[in-house]
Amino acid sequence: MRHESKILKDNPLGDKHIRDLIVYLPPNYDEDKQFPVVYCLTGFTGRGKMFLNDSAFTPNLAERLDKLIGDETIKPMIAVMPDCFTHYGGSQYINSSATGNYEDYLTQEIIPFVDENFGTINDKNSRAVMGKSSGGYGALVMATRHANLFGLACSTSGDAYFEFCYFPGIVEGFRAFKGDAKALIEKFWREDARKGKDDFAALNTIGMSACYSPNENSELGFDLPFDLATGEIREEVWARWLEHDPVRLVEKSVENLKSLKLLYIDAGIRDEFHLDLGARILCKRLKDFDIPHIHEEFDDGHFNISYRQNRSLELISDTFKE
């Protein structure tokens, strides 16, 4: 499905504002019936369409839903897979003067559009959001700021406790910059340029800078959290990042978080970005504020864990109101 966005029109990166919106309809879909909806958010460098990518040994999300609904493991539901990708690799599903207003795009355009065009139950307790990695982060953003729209939120390996999930990558990726952030971005858009592990770490730092520390007055449009010559951390920029850390967002969002019917947080105990520790620290905060939630850990890392979607989908299905 195509959707033409007003909010993304003239976005600062020149990314397209007419985008594919992937909508999965359950096998028994019928325009006259109403179904609950789950919004599925991809990780950094992802976009909705990738949920449909074919893979040798693993079902894609549509195949997975067909199976779970066919099995009656979960209730029939609509799944929406939006595209919040940007030239820098992603948007973290938040508004930024450096990338565009993707938080508004999702909450003010996509949700109404879906509710208008499909047989949905337009109610927060029949609307869930789930995602992995930056998609899990997006789910947490929705839970903390848009609990009026989403009554259920599941974050798998969602970005949290930025000291652990981002800081080491800032250090690792520093050398890839070679003093020129622009050249690094361009490298990613040249197909035949070989990219190493450090380049990906650097791209991640750029992507997060664009989301967390935009700066309309800087040449790049955002501030990097370190000095390009020595690597020294710019504490004031880093502090702006931390304001976006879910661990820090909890105290500002207690009422919203308490209003959720489902708040599910899981992560693998071998997560390469230490997001299991982020999840532990986040859940400690939730507990400190008496916010109901479910916390689980599983024996795996950060990658190739789409099978964990089953767990989120089952909890969502169980929680959707009858």
Residue numbers of the site for a copy of itself (CB under 8 A)? Answer: 45-47, 49-50, 52-58, 85, 89, 161, 163-164, 167-168, 171-172, 174-175, 188-189, 191-192, 194-195, 229-233, 269-270, 274, 277, 280-281, 284, 298-301, 304, 306-307
CB of 276 to a copy of itself, least distance (A): 9
CB of 16 to a copy of itself, least distance (A): 14
Strands 2-4 and 18-20 turn out to be antiparallel
Tell how far CA 185 is from the center of its chain.
21
237: exposed, middle or buried (Cβ count in 10 Å: 0-12, 13-18, 19+): middle
- Closer CB to a copy of itself, 35 or 164, in the complex: 164
Find the length of the chain: 322
- Closer CB to a copy of itself, 32 or 57, in the complex: 57
- Closer CB to a copy of itself, 187 or 240, in the complex: 187
**Do residues 286 and 250 lie in contact, with contact meaning Cβ atoms separated by under 8 Å?**
yes
CB of 164 to a copy of itself, least distance (A): 5
Tell me the C-alpha distance between 130 and 258, whole Å.
18
Beta-bridged to residue 127, according to DSSP, are: 37
- Closer CB to a copy of itself, 261 or 302, in the complex: 302
Strands (E), the chain: 2-4, 18-20, 22-24, 37-41, 78-81, 95-96, 100-101, 127-132, 152-156, 262-268, 294-298
Phi-psi region of 265 (alpha: psi -120 to 50; beta: other; left: phi over 0): beta
CB of 74 to a copy of itself, least distance (A): 16
Strands 37-41 and 100-101 turn out to be unpaired
- Closer CB to a copy of itself, 100 or 151, in the complex: 100
CB of 159 to a copy of itself, least distance (A): 15
- Closer CB to a copy of itself, 171 or 237, in the complex: 171
CB of 147 to a copy of itself, least distance (A): 25
